[in-house]
């Protein structure tokens, strides 16, 4: 079966920043499961099903990547999947404290799963789903920031 890692997130919607992390994570692990969670502190634009659909299309050319969702705790999901690692991306310093909190909590809940961080590609260091949504809402061009399927889905939402 090989080494399995989970790349968790809200992915509301998936951006080129996420895809960069997913692609690089998939090079290191035998299998990478991208798992969509509902982050309680964010009110989502896309449903979990819509977010999964967009992720599936955006990762269709990555053979060792699959897409799933879970509504409970990340560490329980990791245990269930027998994952060895959680993969997260780091952008600016501002991400650090948040990630440190999540990682510390997750480690307290499940000592067996290790979290790995991948530094953002400079090109995407200021890219976030919330900024993409903000910009798309005012009909600005987001084609450099998200795949075509996501661009179209955003246009539909904000029409």
40 versus 141: smaller Cβ distance to ligand COD: 40
CA dist 76 → 81, 101, 146 (Å): 9, 17, 30
Is 42 among the catalytic positions? yes
Catalogue the E-assigned strands of the chain: 4-9, 31-36, 65-69, 85-90, 114-119
38 versus 64: smaller Cβ distance to ligand COD: 38
CB 148 to ligand COD: min, Å: 18
- Torsion (CA) 131, 86, 36, 59 in degrees, nearest 10: 80
| From 4, 13, 18, 85, residue interacting with ligand COD (rule: CB under 6 A) | 18
Based on the shown chain and the rule CB under 6 A, indicate whether residue 59 belongs to the binding site for ligand COD: no
| Active-site annotation holder among 51, 70, 129, 133 | 129
42 is in an annotated binding site: yes
Buried b / exposed e over 112-150, threshold 16 CB at 10 Å, is ebebeebebbeebeebebeebbeebeeeeebeebbbebb
Q: Would you please indicate which residues are annotated as catalytic (active-site) residues?
A: 18, 42, 91, 129
Binding site members for ATP: 10-11, 18, 89-91, 99, 124-130
| Contact positions vs ligand COD (CB under 6 A) | 8-11, 17-18, 21, 37, 39, 73-74, 88-89, 91, 95, 102, 105-106, 120, 124, 127-129
């Amino acid at each position: 079966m090989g080494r399995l890692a989970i790349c968790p997130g809200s992915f509301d919607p998936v951006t080129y920043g996420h895809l960069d992390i997913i692609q690089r994570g998939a090079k290191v692990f035998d299998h990478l499961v991208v798992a969509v969670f509902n982050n309680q502190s964010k009110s989502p634009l896309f449903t979990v099903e819509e977010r999964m659909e967009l992720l599936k299309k955006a990762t269709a050319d990555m053979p060792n990547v699959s897409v799933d969702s879970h509504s409970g705790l990340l560490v329980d999901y990791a245990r269930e999947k027998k994952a060895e690692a959680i993969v997260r991306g780091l952008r600016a310093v501002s991400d650090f404290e948040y990630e440190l909190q999540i990682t510390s909590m997750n480690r307290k809940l499940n000592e067996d799963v290790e979290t790995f961080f991948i530094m953002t590609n400079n090109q995407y260091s200021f890219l976030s789903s919330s900024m993409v949504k903000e910009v798309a809402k005012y009909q600005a061009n987001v084609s450099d920031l998200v795949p075509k399927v996501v661009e179209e889905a955003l246009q539909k939402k904000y029409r």
